[in-house]
Structure 1
Amino acid sequence: MDADHGHAAAEADARRTLLDAGAASLPRPPWLHGSQPPSATDLVRFAAWRAGRDDDEAAVLAGLALLAAARAEVDQTEAALMFLARSQGLSWPRIARALGLASAQAAQQRFGRVTDRVEHRRGDAT
């Protein structure tokens, strides 16, 4: 459990570093409540922009510390979009084409892998 607490503390520090460096003023996407902080994905992008513009080592390190959280967000978004596509009646071949995959089977397998990762992370959080 100590490793989990250490990782959470490092992630919180990275978020704070980037928010203090200007990420707090990023425009909010319309689907987020005004009090929600920027996503890990937005913070990682901000870190790359900030580091490239100002040669900011702290921003690079903070961005690296948030990569796992950003990957988790992207997995959650991908799983949600694939689930929505299926619930709206889209076929696996159409989903595969939209994802740039070669077959319906590849899309189904990808959906399985992504949802497994999302569920695995959810299990780690409890």
Structure 2
Amino acid sequence: MVTISVSGHALCLSKAIADVLRAHDSILELHIGKTHIRGTDMSHISAALVENYSVRVLDLRLNNIGNEGAAHLVKALTSNKTLRQLNLSSTGIDADGVNCLADALRTNVGLEDLD
């Protein structure tokens, strides 16, 4: 299994990350915190997570994904049951985004750690 960590780098390659997630089923952890990912970028990553059942840890901290990114994550969380840890600290998600995520977590019994 592989851990990918590109935290702290200005990364505007969400489509490339999504392509890697689709192509490789050996990725255990994906750490992309503080990489300038925005809400619109999460559409690519979340769509790939729907198809990838190897990722156990997703670290998105310090990215400004906001409620739009949370809405995209909901799609992934309702179908992907292998994700165990999700770090959303300092991502600009407000109460509306949290409510959206909470609805998805009612059906996702796999997630054990949410920051």
Into which bin does the TM-score normalised by the smaller protein fall? under 0.3
Over alpha carbons, which structure has the higher Rg? Answer: 1
Higher fraction of strand:
2
Q: Relative contact order: is structure 1 or structure 2 higher (C-alpha 8 Å, sep ≥ 6)? A: 2
TM-score by length of 2: 0.26
TM-score, normalised via structure 1 length:
0.24
Q: Give the helix-richer structure, 1 or 2.
A: 1
